[in-house]
Amino acid sequence: MRIAIVGAGAIGGVLGGRLAARGHQVALVARGDHLAAIRRDGLKLVDHVGEASGSYRLAASDEPADLGTQDLVIIALKAHAIGGMLPRIAPLLRDDTVVVPAINGLPWWYFYREPGPHEGRRLLTLDPAGTMFADLDCRHVLGCVVHFAAEVRAPGEVHHTGGRRIILGEPDGAASERLRRTCALLDEAGLEAQPSQRIRLDVWVKLLGNMSFNPVAALTGYLMNQICADEAVLDVIRPMMREGMAVSAHFGYPMPMTPDQRIDLARQLGGAKISMLQDIEQRRPLELAPVVGSVIELAELAGLPVPTIRMVHALARARARSLGIA
């Protein structure tokens, strides 16, 4: 297959390397020193959880139009970069191209084909300019939730550090042929691809961890196992999760687990350095809007109090401002 990875950083680099190892024609969209290293030496994947380690010579550009049309486009960008990129990926798309946004936080397409009073609603935290639905027809989109960890440890060098699971689902819940094919493709690449008929519930399960663990990691400098071992910190995580669960239940997705069961899921990542801590260390903007701000916006829409989420959000924003990365 012809597959473009738009945003060949940590998650995108793992997906690109693994798919290239299976013989697919993978092209990468990257930038800066990372792009220069990939062009010079190939994409180096160091696989700590499987057998896909290697260097892969792949087409790479900072301009999607250079790569031609694709069968599959995986968007693995930071949230603040997605809005500006969507109109630029048009040259990659045919009528039947599948687009998989492998991104953190609540996705901009969340209310696309979501039955009920909010169908088609745009959230300001996700799409402040109001352009994203127009810039990419959501009929291309397969929802995606990533449950593995990765890091870019040097330009051109990506480490797959933990986990294999990735969940895919149609926004309308259909058990489609393209969903089956895409899951099979990722299974063959050494991941554990799971089809879902309730992809928004899967988004919420992941989001409850992201909205709590990520800003706490940014504030404390803790790895995942250190957060999970510190009971005083978990006493902050738990009320954040309870507040988030109330919001998800209001919008039709009650959580099938307790906060402590969700914490146990996070323990499976071991000593992973989660994304906001990586961003703090690399002095990159934090994905606070889609990961935490979106939950606050939905809580306001629902009329629900989320005081702990607001407090941690305010502290993480202040930390980012102090570092000049707000």
Q: Where are the strands (E) in the chain, listed by range?
A: 2-6, 25-29, 43-47, 54-56, 59-61, 72-75, 98-101, 143-154, 157-169, 192-195
Q: How far apart are CA 21 and CA 218, in angstroms?
A: 33
Known catalytic residues?
A: 206
- HSE of 302, CA atoms in CB hemisphere, 13 A: 19
Confidence check: pLDDT of 214 > 90: yes
pLDDT at 245: 98
pLDDT at 326: 80
pLDDT-derived band of residue 212, with 50, 70 and 90 as boundaries? very high
Structure confidence by residue, pLDDT tens digits, 113-171? 998 899 999 999 999 989 999 999 999 999 999 999 899 999 999 999 988 999 999 99
| CA-to-CA dists, residue 316 to 184, 187, 244, angstroms | 39, 36, 17
Six token digits for residue 199: 């992809």
Second CATH level (architecture) for the domain 201-322: Orthogonal Bundle (1.10)
> Residue length, the chain?
326
Confidence check: pLDDT of 219 > 90: yes
Structure confidence by residue, pLDDT tens digits, 71-107? 999 999 998 899 999 999 999 999 999 999 999 999 9
State the span(s) of the chain assigned CATH 3.40.50.720: 2-197
Pick the CATH number of 2-197 from 2.70.70.10, 3.30.450.20, 3.100.10.20, 3.40.50.720: 3.40.50.720
- With b for 16 or more beta-carbon neighbours within 10 A and e for fewer, the 278-299 pattern comes to bbbeeebbbbbbbbbbbbbbbb
Q: Determine the Cα angle at 39 with ends 36 and 40, to 5°.
A: 85
Structure confidence by residue, pLDDT tens digits, 229-267? 999 999 999 999 999 999 999 999 999 999 999 999 999
Residues 6+ apart with CB under 8 A from 163: 49, 147, 148, 149, 268, 269, 272
Q: Give the DSSP letter of residue 45.
A: E
Range 223-232 average pLDDT = 97
Terminus-to-terminus CA distance in the chain, angstroms? 39
pLDDT at 276: 95
State the span(s) of the chain assigned CATH 1.10.1040.10: 201-322
